[in-house]
Structure 1
Amino acid sequence: MHSTTKARDRLAIALDTSDLGTALALAKAVQPHIGVAKVGLQLFSAAGHDAVRAIQDLGMDVFLDVKLHDIPNTVYGASTVLGSLGVQYLTVHAAGGKAMLQAAVKGLEEGADAAGMPTPTVLAVTVLTSAPDATPALLNERLADAVTANCGGIVCAATDLPVIRNTAPDILTVVPGIRPTGSPVHDQQRIATPAEAIHAGANILVIGRAVATAEDPAAAAEAIAAEVAHVI
């Protein structure tokens, strides 16, 4: 039972829809097996703060995946607002540079403090999983910026984990592009099975269409949680 609980904390479901009702139905279905709900640009654009609150009401952590990327002052301003929502994770693009990442960290801290909320973890997105392989030099450059800016974690492909773990063994790693064996690849170029990603050093796995489009999402989520529980 203990390992299953740990597995649940290490899985995030991507709620990639513009309909809040559809998103909540999926979240409720997988909630026994997946502890984190990822709210991306599509759902946040459609339902905004209401989506965050509704998921929190289900007892799930919220991973707000809006990938902020702008001048530092603009990112700071947006982060103070987003920091007040009580989300656990917020993504920003590492390509924005060290000053922008620092602005996000500062804004989230101040916004959370003002709202009496815990400070969310800033996740610096290194290279998108839809992109071709990143060079170790580019990964290390973006990783160094994230570490210097005090970002709590990064988002990277499973194939990038060996480079990441060699440079920053203790940083939180969030890995999308997870596909159970036999699942379609879709538009992700750099993918891994749940067990492969965990073995490579992933902390949190983001699961999307492999569960969302399954005939029985709850059963698909349960199978992935069982696979993760077996290897952690």
Structure 2
Amino acid sequence: MNTELRPQERIFVALDYANMDDALRMAEQLGDTIKTMKVGLQLFFNSGPQILHRLHEMGFQVFMDCKFHDIPNTVAGASDSVTQHGVYMFNVHCAGGVEMMKRAKEAALKRAESMGILVPKLIGVTQLTSTSQEMLNAEIGVPGDVQSSVIHYAKLAQQAGLDGVVASGHEIEAIRTACGDDFVTVIPGIRPTWAASDDQKRIMTPKEALQAGAHYLVIGRAITHAADPKAAALRILEEV
């Protein structure tokens, strides 16, 4: 189990809202319980970079979850741009290949150094937690099991110099075996025992994920859809 981070630094709250006002209201409700907010595609495309700066002004770190996947030059440009906004972490799809991931990392490093800011953590997306075995084989057309695909992508991400990967909690131990304990794992699909699983297939409780060695947990609806979001966040922090 990774013990270097405090509980409030391990959890990213997924602000899956359609507009900035609702997202900021939720962040304000959570106060100082959680340190990092995750901004995904819907919120970012509705609010633009302003949401990143507003959250920073409120004292939060930001994980920008827009999963870049394009030709290497385009992704390098996107990495340069997002780094300028001072995000704590952002991600790319491992399926884009080693060259794409390398260029993304190089662009982030160069921009951060030129601005004198911290280099954002760059994380590779392996397989989405909504991907079942049947979907992987029959729809996506990738043979073998989900875990084998995840480990393959994790090794490519490490080869490219990325800081870690996004994966299901069920792959944490295999990733640690393949890539080492210091290779960062960001785990979505986290559901406390008292929360519904919704549309994600490969889920795990916060305690189980951390005991398996996860570095960061992404938690959305279990907190943001709770009757009392702050109380739900504190309950999860107590569990971890």
User: Which consecutive residues of structure 2, in runs of 5 or more, have no partner in the other structure?
Assistant: 134-144
**Alignment match, 2:149:** 138
Residue 158 of structure 2 is aligned with which of 136, 147, 153? 147
Cα distance in 1 between the residues matched to 2:44 and 2:162: 22
Aligned-pair identity in percent equals 40
Deviation at 1:191, TM superposition (A): 0.5
Deviation at 1:38, TM superposition (A): 0.2
Partner-residue secondary structure (3-state), 1:66: strand
Deviates more, 1:154-163 or 1:133-142: 133-142
**Alignment match, 2:18:** 18
CA contact (8 A) 2:189 2:202 kept: yes
CA contact (8 A) 1:85 1:112 kept: no
Deviation at 1:127, TM superposition (A): 0.7
Deviates more, 1:133-142 or 1:9-18: 133-142
Matched, 1:57 2:60: no
User: Which consecutive residues of structure 1, in runs of 5 or more, have no partner in the other structure?
Assistant: none
CA, structure 1 residues 31+156, in 2 after alignment: closer, same or farther (shift >3 Å)?
A: farther
Which deviations, in whole Å up to 9, do the C-alpha atoms of 1:48-70 show, x marking residues without a partner? Answer: 11000000111111000000000
The amino acid that maps onto 2:156 is D
CA contact (8 A) 1:83 1:110 kept: no
Q: How many residues get paired?
A: 225
**Alignment match, 2:90:** 90
Cα distance in 2 between the residues matched to 1:62 and 1:29: 17
Which deviations, in whole Å up to 9, do the C-alpha atoms of 1:9-40 show, x marking residues without a partner? Answer: 01110001121111011112223221110011
Which deviations, in whole Å up to 9, do the C-alpha atoms of 1:127-179 show, x marking residues without a partner? Answer: 10010155333222211111111101211100111211111222111101111
TM-score by length of 2: 0.90
Matched, 1:166 2:170: no
Cα distance in 2 between the residues matched to 1:170 and 1:119: 17
TM-score by length of 1: 0.93
**Alignment match, 1:204:** 216
**Alignment match, 2:137:** none
**Alignment match, 1:43:** 43
Q: How does 1:63-74 map to 2 (within 5 A)?
A: 63-74=63-74
Partner-residue secondary structure (3-state), 1:182: coil
Deviation at 1:47, TM superposition (A): 1.0
The amino acid that maps onto 1:135 is V
CA contact (8 A) 2:127 2:146 kept: no
CA contact (8 A) 1:92 1:101 kept: yes
TM superposition outliers: structure 1 runs of 4+ over 4 Å: none
